[in-house]
Structures are given as structure tokens and as C-alpha cells.
Amino acid sequence: MRAPHLNRALVLEAPLRAGDGAGGYIRDWQVRGVLWAEIKAGMGREAAAFAATVSRVPYRITVRAAPHGAASRPVAGQRFREGSRVFQINAVAESDSRARYLTCFATEETAS
């Protein structure tokens, strides 16, 4: 396996539930750190959403591995942010037999 080219700085964010003062909650995002990554796009598709059409593109995002339970280890339900772009993490797996890198299967959704 060739070593990935980690040339993009992505902010790892985890969901945070905060009370809204009326008995409900709002979802906010807490920064967990910045990870250097290699991003590879998959084949996109267009889908109808509530009041608009959205395009969804799957990505394979490779980052350096971190121990299980570490704040810097991505998990499903978190997201990566690069400026205004947001990549929702759907699944995470070791990408090599020595567990030096993780592959994050993510989706970017944009209104079209």
C-alpha cells in the first residue's frame, strides 16, 4: 500500500446537545481538532429534498490513525469541516494492515 498524501487540513467536529431553555435542545458542534487528510471523491448523485434539490457526493477521507476512544479519532456521526464545506462521517475503518491510517467514509451534501 502506498502512503496517502495528507495535504488537506480538516477540522474534526463532534455533535453537542445543548438545552434551548424551553425543554428541548439544539445541536451544536464542538471542535475536536485539526487532522491532515487525503480526500478522494466518489460518484455523486442528485436527489430531491424537502424544498430543493441536493447533490450528494461520497468521499473517502484518509487520516492518521488514533487509539480507540481518543478525541482525535473520528467516529460515525461526527463531521469534517473545510471552510464552508461539511463532510458527514458515515463509517470509519482501518485502511491498512498495520492500522497506521483510518479511512472515513463521508458524504458532502450541497443544495443545487
Could you tell me if residue 1 is inside a domain? no
* CATH number of the domain encompassing residue 51: 2.40.10.270
Could you tell me if residue 55 is inside a domain? yes
Could you tell me if residue 2 is inside a domain? no
Could you tell me if residue 45 is inside a domain? yes
How many domains does the chain fold into?
Answer: 1
Residues of the domain holding 20 = 8-111
Could you tell me if residue 3 is inside a domain? no
4-56 pLDDT tens trace? 899 999 999 999 988 888 888 888 899 999 999 999 998 766 666 666 777 88
User: Cα angle at 101 between 95 and 103, to 5 degrees?
Assistant: 50
pTM: 0.84
Q: Which residues contact 74 (CB under 8 A, 6 or more apart)?
A: 12, 35, 63, 80, 89, 92, 102, 104
